[in-house]
Amino acid sequence: MLGFIVSLVLVTTLIFSLAPALRATRVNLTDSLKEGGHQGTAGPTGRHLRGALVVAEVALAVMLLIGAGLMLRSVRALQRIDLGFDPTGVLTMRLSAPEATYDTPEEVVAFYQRVLAGCGPYPA
């Protein structure tokens, strides 16, 4: 999830920073000054492009803000769920029998039974 968010941020940063920069390198200053009057803008097409980029940027920011709010709400709701037991002091782990040592399913079952026999009940 974090990787997706970081890549999304990088892509949007590149798009919204490179598009105006590339557009600025192709501007003919003489035509720009004639079209824009005293403002010195890139003309109506440049204003439309800039306006579209601003609208898209604000829309993405709003979507990310709404998504973050919904995610926080979901995390809070998950933290309030009654698990039906007290998870304090509980340890979980994954254990797999090495395939090179245990060839048959019976040997694997015997391995797990030995492991479980060695794990006695611990006081709470």
Segment 73-87 shows an average pLDDT of: 91
- pLDDT at residue 121, rounded to an integer: 60
Task: Name the pLDDT band for 42 (thresholds 50, 70, 90).
Answer: low
The span from the CA of 115 to the CA of 95, in Å, is: 10
Match 């590339």 to its residue by tokens. 22
- pLDDT at residue 56, rounded to an integer: 93
Kindly report the pTM of this predicted structure. Answer: 0.40
Task: Work out whether the CA dihedral 49, 55, 61, 63 comes out positive or negative.
Answer: negative
Greater model confidence, 90 or 123: 90
Q: Mean of the per-residue pLDDT values for the chain?
A: 82
